[in-house]
Structure 1
Amino acid sequence: MNINNNMKIGIITAVCVIGLFVLSLLITQMPADGNNSARFGVLTLLPPLVAIALAFITKETILSLFIGIFIGEFMLCVTDLNIVNSIINAFLAIAHQIIACMSDPWNAGIILQCLLIGGVIQLITKMGGAKALADALAKRADTPRKAQLITWFLGLCVFFDDYANSLIVGPIMRPVMDKLKVSREKLAFVVDATAAPVAGIAIISTWIGLEISLIAAGFKTIGMDVSGFGIFLQTIPYRYYNILILIFIVISALTLYEFGPMKKAEQEARARKGLEPVKAFEAPGFDEVQPVEGIKLNVWNAIIPILTLIVGALIAFYWNGYSAILSGNDQALITLMKTSPLSFDGIFEALSASDTSVSLFQAALLASIVAMVMAVAQRIMTIEQAISEWIGGMKTIVITGVILLLAWSLGGVIGEVGTADYLVSVLKDTIPYWILPSLIFILGGLISFATGTAYGTMSILMPLAIPLAWAVSPDMGFVITCTSGVLTGAIFGDHCSPISDTTILSSMGTSCNHIDHVQTQIYYAGFVAIIAIIFGYIPAGFGIPWYISIPVATIMMFVGLKIIGEKVDFEKNVEEETA
């Protein structure tokens, strides 16, 4: 056995060394001048492709991300055929990349708010609030249909931020779904599909500031000074993927039809007997945490901290943006804040200017304090015990922080090697006017899938897509459709990518195996994306309005699901168990 293992290790090592040598040989023959996307060419796709392929093959997310980062850094460090020197420099560069990601204020704020929300969830669970809320929801959500629809509705309610959505809705609905034998994979899909797709089209969210600023800047490149918010509103009906994925959840929930790996996951969940444990996330999570013995379950022990988190986040968003505007140099905005701070325009401008990572951290800290005070005031825990449980909840999120850091580091390396610029340069020349909205959507999806970031994809594509659309057809409606293709394509790719932070957080929040979540979700996201292209963006290229395309696309989703799917019946399983 040891001989076989040693042979495997030796073979893997030899293959890796040969692969690095070949990669070094290819890179040393490339011209060193110019940008990296032109220098590396198709090799720019190597880091994300390796990371994604290994994630699917090995199901080891951390290892896959690390290897992807290493390959990217190795490519940047190659100057000659001295592999040992390049490996050492690449390893040192990885450390610098991870530290740079950790020291970024935005990233640090996201990790901290994730940790704090983990602490809040554990406190809520120990106080019995989570179980009480799950029991209350279970009275209404007494079938898989109702449970999925309630999860969908909760996702719509937490519209203001995709991260908050993943971390709030998942833990609330997980025990309900487990009781009704709905798979963790289906729960993770519903949570993920109501995160970025909802926040991306909400008129008050943590996304809108970036979106409208990119839109306004893009139109300036064609000499048009427009209202970024006004154009944003006009893109909403043409955000076909966002809209259709939300409709698809409802169709799937009502029909109980599933296909692909999700069908298998749902069949396995339905076949689970009695108290048989649910297959969960690899890392320790909230599943093992139980309420303190002997306490009276109270739904308000969950509702009050969660409402504190949500309302606190909205207030923090506003106050952070309000303060930023008053300390800035834009006199028009300063006047607006002083004269009409609570008008629609005032609230909108404040939310657009807010630092969302800081605001979410502040809200999570406030919710933590409220939860601890409630636990102590009701004599459920002492202050020492409450703090200990709070810290214990944060420990369950540590692995998520590690994955996020590696995902951000891979994104940084991908940016340095020029993956996105290469994809744009290769695909941008295919521009028949009617196919351009679809092409932009597909390109946005590819870049976002490969890089794991919707924000970065929007930032890259928007300055290119708007001038390109205007050059192909100087019609405002056509340009707006292409603009929506950028925003929606970025969200589609981000929704599918195993290295996307929202995908990772959805897995963690629902205690679902991350790669299982990705493998089951990608079939559904791809199905909806195909429908969005064929019945949404291609017709839009010919000028067909959204109010025709969306109903037709909805019908085709229903028909397609009926054709390729199969009903995973709940009632039959209940009858079999009670017989």
Structure 2
Amino acid sequence: MNKIAYKSVLSGGVFLMAIVVGLYVNAFIPKQWVEQIYHYDVFENKQGQPSYIFKGQAQIIDQITPYADSVLTQEHLNNLTEKPAIASQWVELDNGDIAQLKPVFHFGFWSLMPAVITISLCLLTREPLSALFSGIVTGAFSLGLFDITDGVIIPYLANQSSVGLLILYLWLLGGLLGVWSKTGAAQAFANLMTRHCVKGPRSAKVITWLLGVLFFQGGTMSTVLVGTTVKPFADKANVSHEEMSYIVDSTASPIAAVLAFNAWPAYVQALIFVPGVAFLATESQRIAFFFASIPFSFYGLLAVFGTLLLSFNITRFSGKRIRMAQQRALKTGKLDADGATPLSARELHSTDVPPGYRPHAMEFLFPLITLIGIAVGTFVVSGSPEVNWAFSAALLISIGVALGKGMMLVDVVDGLGNGLKGVVLASVILMLAVVLGTLSKELGGGLYLVNLLGESIEYWMLPLLLLLLSMVIAFSTGTSWGTYAIAFPLAMPLAWSVGHVHGLQNIELYMMICFATVLNGSIFGDQCSPISDTTILSAMTTGCDLMDHVKSQIVPATFAMSAAAVLWTASVILFT
């Protein structure tokens, strides 16, 4: 049996298994309902009504029930045989605090099956589309959703976040790359950088690292900005796509946790309130706690430092795959391994400038500077970067300059079309990854993993277990921020309780270390996951094969995380 036939048989077998697993869970595995307590900063408004802030708006709490009388306590949920009658309830706890109870469920180990099937199939076949679809089928069937198109994919993508991803990464990013390819702007920029800054692979990688540090907003925005900017001159300098995608990916979220002047503290602080903990009582105190814990973001620091070493061609901790990719590019000029399938199509790998049109590097630089200026400027003003505005302005400027210089409209439209074709595969993968992440959250896989922990654990082991837990959740769901929403509300109270049980002298420092392990473990799991949006976009913008990126990145990332785990354990033992 040849390799293609083997992959086809394997894919078919796993897909059938996905269907069987989903049907089995739906028919025979009962939901395990779990009490979830959500703490808010409850205050009285001018009318004396209890209120809280949600998405920037004050919300009135209509009715508060004593905790013992609530139908959503774990004691009541243990006796349920069907869905609870109400979705949430405000309660007064024994200590007088007001909190919100919500029932959530999981299927035990079976909640992890969509992620397990997807990741296994990705690694076995290197074909993410069929792997993601298999995981979606498993998750949907487990929840009793059998109409995959109208009942799952369309509803799960019919929200502002998903539509925004589609517009940004298919239309705007694809269109911009296509116009730059048609005008020759990207190639002109690469030539300019080669003449003045980039003298070889090492300088190309160092500039990429510096840009990754400069764009410290983190996540998809940093990934797209850096990857789009560096690809032209990095390709010209013969830097392998595996190296570039790793540097781009590993200076996105890791640097955002270290240079945290971005949206991360504002989001995370809302998840780490613990009743009775004075230094986490207010929003400003929780943000201060975030910044005070930055010195313990050992993985973020080591990941960024590791990519700097790679930029200087120091590959001791980079792993065999990256060393082989580096040597392949230097000796043969091949930027991808044999048999690789880059996520960006060949339309974006070459220029097709119309006769008589003279490209200029400013056609690349001016839209790029505008893009960065709008993204950073709107973040400074409003606290949230308007990425769609930034890419829209860059695209319009690129089109306007091309038309102003005499390019025919038909050629501009042809460039736009090539750009859309160049990123359509990655955009489809990205959309399926969003659907799978939503299904995984509904199935309660992360909740199941969290509930495996107990309060009887040794204090020095808790950071490591929280680290492992957040890594697995983020790797399985492909999202770090989603992992924060699952892990932090459970990890922080647990750390407080364990610290008191063991009589730790510096419990605030202990909680900072536990906080850092969840923050960094989520980043690691997201960064290494083949279904993560940043992983996919790092491969797409640098032109790398997705699974080549995943397999080459996981070794240096694991080196950094292993060293970080040792440092966290030593910090707990020595300083708490």
Pairing 1:34–2:33 present: yes
User: Are residues 1:128 and 2:194 paired?
Assistant: no
2:562 paired with 1:530: yes
Q: Which residue in 2 is equivalent to 1:465?
A: 491
The structure that is strand-richer by fraction is: 2
Indicate yes or no: 2:328 matched with 1:268. Answer: yes
**Residues 69, 410 of structure 1: 8 Å contact kept:** yes
Q: Verify the 8 A CA contact 1:478 1:543 in the aligned structure 2.
A: no
Match of 1:281 among 328, 332, 342: 342
Matched, 1:254 2:285: no
* SS of aligned partner of 1:34: strand
Q: Please state if 1:298 is matched with 2:353.
A: no
Distance 1:403 1:295 in 2: 35
Residue 437 of structure 2, aligned match among 391, 411, 414? 411
Please give the secondary structure, in 1, of the residue aligned with 2:457. Answer: coil
1:65 — aligned with what? 132
Distance 2:482 2:535 in 1: 16
The answer on whether the counterparts of 2:190 and 2:236 sit within 8 Å (CA) in structure 1 is no
1:13-47 Cα offsets, whole Å, 9 max, x none, are 78866785577557644445636987622122211
Alignment deviations for residues 124-165 of structure 1 (CA, whole Å, 9 cap, x no partner): 333332112212222322232222111100111222243232
CA distance in 1, matches of 2:244, 2:178: 20
Q: Does 1:540 align with 2:566?
A: no
Partner of 1:511: 543
Query: Which AA in structure 1 matches 2:158?
Result: S
Any conservation in 2 of the 1:145–1:256 contact (CA below 8 Å)? Answer: no
Picking from 507, 518, 528, the partner of 1:486 is 518
2:242–2:336 contact (8 Å) kept in structure 1: no
**Aligned partner of 2:235: which letter?**
D
2:495 aligned partner, one-letter code:
A
Range moving further from structure 2, 403-412 or 248-257 = 248-257
Cα 1:418–1:33 change in 2 (3 A) is closer
Residue pair 1:73, 1:94 contacting (<8 A) in 2 also: no
* Amino acid corresponding to residue 329 of structure 2 in structure 1: A
In 2, the alpha carbon distance for the partners of 1:526 and 1:243 equals 13
Using the TM superposition, give the Cα deviation of residue 256 of structure 1 relative to its aligned residue in structure 2, in angstroms: 3.4
- Structure with the larger helix share: 1
Q: Once the two structures are superposed, what CA deviation does each residue of 1:78-109 show, in whole Å capped at 9, x if it has no partner? A: xxxxxxxxxxx52x045422112321101211
Structure 1 distance, partners of 2:186, 2:417, is: 18
Q: Judge which range, 394-403 or 488-497, deviates more.
A: 394-403
TM-score normalized by the length of structure 2: 0.78
Letter in 1 for 2:270: S
Q: How does 1:68-87 map to 2 (within 5 A)?
A: 68-77=135-144
Contact map agreement 2:14 2:121 (CA 8 A) in 1: no
Q: How many residues align?
A: 491
Q: Deviations over 1:351-395 (max 9, x none)?
A: 0xx3x5xx211211111111112112222x134533442343233
Alignment correspondent of 1:184: 241
Correspondence list, 1:132-147, <5 A: 132-139=188-195, 140-147=197-204
Contact 2:216 2:255 (8 Å CA) reproduced: yes
Asked if 2 retains the 8 angstrom alpha-carbon contact of 1:452 and 1:498, the reply is: yes
> Are 1:360 and 2:395 an aligned pair?
no
CA contact (8 A) 1:70 1:94 kept: no
Q: Distance in 2 between matches of 1:499 and 1:272?
A: 31
Contact 1:155–1:169 (8 Å) recurs in 2: yes
- Alpha-carbon separation, structure 2, partners of 1:510 and 1:14: 32
Shift of 1:71: 1.0
1:236 counterpart = 2:298: no
Alpha-carbon distance in structure 2 between the residues aligned to 1:482 and 1:378: 57
DSSP 3-state at the match of 1:520:
helix
CA distance in structure 2 between the aligned counterparts of 1:14 and 1:507, rounded to whole angstroms: 28
SS in 2 for 1:476: helix
Q: Deviations over 1:193-247 (max 9, x none)?
A: 11111233333334343123323xx245746413232112112111111111010
Whole-angstrom distance in 1 between the partners of 2:16 and 2:411: 52
Aligned-residue offset at 1:543: 4.2
In structure 2, what is the equivalent of residue 370 of structure 1? 397
Give the direction of change, closer, same or farther, for the CA distance of 1:277–1:94 in structure 2 (3 Å limit): closer
Q: Is the Cα contact below 8 Å between 2:271 and 2:485 reproduced in 1? A: yes
Q: Counterpart amino acid of 2:297?
A: R
Q: Secondary structure at the match of 1:298?
A: coil
Structure 1 equivalent of residue 101 of structure 2: none
Decide whether the 8 Å contact of 2:336 with 2:544 is kept in 1. no
Unpaired segments ≥5 residues, structure 2: 35-82, 84-103, 501-506
Distance (Å, rounded) in 2 between the aligned partners of 1:13 and 1:251: 42
Gaps of 5+ in 1: 78-88, 319-346, 546-579
Structure 2 CA distance for partners of 1:518 and 1:125, relative to 1, 3 Å = same
Alignment-mate amino acid for residue 505 of structure 1 = L
Say if 1:117 and 1:68 are closer, same or farther in 2 by CA, change over 3 A. Answer: same
Q: Identity of counterpart residues, as a percentage?
A: 30
